[in-house]
Structure 1
């Protein structure tokens, strides 16, 4: 099988290429210069030239709360343009199989119950990442519309919960919660600080899955795409409070200090938990425990410090 993977140098893409079964696949992993997804004509030419059997769309502008609040225009337009151009070019080039990677940011804010795939577009979005969410929703809907007009296409959207893992971004300007926690705790440990500050009161709950597990789900989807629902949550089905993530990560890092809270900073949604019933029915479950995933991620983080 020949698979075009966009975003091959990002966290999801690199974890996918590291999957044990990835060596059995012929991968197209173009650089930004080789495939400019914001340029529709260039995208169409590339796909027509290479004719992949399947496209996995993992490219995108990503970041945590601070980045989304700082650059909402780019988070909206970049992700929308890349997804729209890729899907339309794929359909026009006759590519029948495509996996679009969405985001749990697509779901309405402040839902206390687990989020099911049908909840998309049923409520107000979280303001701190609304631009990113709007782009992801539009591209997922476009995939459904293309299939509606041409039923021979198999264009599906996987909606992962929050991710962390090897090849994550640890720079505080761009990082999500887990890499930010590991970075803060490590720096506090090295500096000998007695306290680490947590944004908000720490009670907000989040579901974080190791990126290697998403890679496993993508490999499964590439093999059984026709059997997969049009939209499918991929996650753990369980969550932890921000305070709990700090406590568990502190054990992994070896930080022995205490925590303080800054309740004046934004914390996003109070809870964001995915319902993974469809994934279980489809035959897939995550394998990596939080402690094991954090340990592997922290080991990778230490390697990046050595390389610097």
Structure 2
């Protein structure tokens, strides 16, 4: 197929293009200078000119708790506009297939775990990333509306759990937890620090999947879009505490100091584990263990990102 991949330079996009099955397809991977997703007419013109058979919408303004709290307007406005422009332009241009990447932050903050796809929009969102979540909910609903009202459109939404892996961002100001902790403990180990801090008491639980596994799922899903559920969780179905992530990463990077908990810092939702029942019924399971994923991510960090 001819596939338009938005966000091709991001972690998910680069893992998709690096996958062993990527060579079976023709890829359109415009940079933000070539295609401004915040400009509706530009996106519509690009779709009509290049006529992709499938769009994978992986672009977005992303970041951890600190970035979301510091820039709520940008996270809401930019992500909402990108989603609407890409989906509406694809629909207007006759693109039959689209895969929209959402986020597990779409789920209500007090929703019962594990989180089922049917729980979206059943309660208040987690305040620390509410703007990003609202944008992802909007795009997800637009996919559903388009698919419901046009039988010739298979527009589906993936809700991945948290991701980490090769091509990730390791700057603590812009990164998610695992890459931030990799850098933090790597530097602490090299400086022989006696201790490092953990935000909160470390008992909050998170589910992180190796990004290469998400790419593997996407290639599994491409020929099966018509039979794929409208909205589908993609994750491990297993989570770990923040303390456990620190312990695994410390062992791999060689940090031998102690951990001290900063109880004044925000920690977000107490738990966020997605339900993978529909995913398993669709016929796919993740393959990479936490230890192996962290080991490969740390290897990438040492080769490519340690001096960033």
Range into which the TM-score falls when normalised by the shorter chain:
over 0.9
Query: SS state of the match for residue 198, structure 1?
Result: strand
Are residue 273 (structure 1) and residue 281 (structure 2) matched? Answer: no
Q: CA RMSD in A?
A: 0.9
1:1-308 matches, within 5 Å, as 1-305=1-305
Contact 1:15 1:215 in 2 (8 A): yes
Contact 2:162 2:208 in 1 (8 A): yes
Q: Mind listing any 5+ residue stretches in structure 1 that lack a counterpart?
A: none
- Give the length in aligned residue pairs: 308
CA distance, structure 1, for counterparts of residue 284 and residue 255 of structure 2? 35
Contact 2:170 2:305 in 1 (8 A): no
Q: Mind listing any 5+ residue stretches in structure 2 that lack a counterpart?
A: none
The runs of at least 4 consecutive aligned structure 1 residues that moved more than 6 Å come to: none
Return the TM-score normalized by structure 1. Answer: 0.98
Shift of residue 240 of structure 1? 0.3
The Cα offsets for residues 265-296 of structure 1, whole Å up to 9 and x where unpaired, read as 00000000000010100001000000000000
Contact 1:111 1:271 in 2 (8 A): no
Query: SS state of the match for residue 61, structure 2?
Result: coil
Q: 1:199 to 1:123 in 2, by over 3 A?
A: same
Q: 1:99 to 1:291 in 2, by over 3 A?
A: same
Return the TM-score normalized by structure 2. Answer: 0.98
CA distance, structure 2, for counterparts of residue 153 and residue 126 of structure 1? 32
Shift of residue 112 of structure 1? 4.2
Contact 1:166 1:297 in 2 (8 A): yes
Shift of residue 227 of structure 1? 1.1
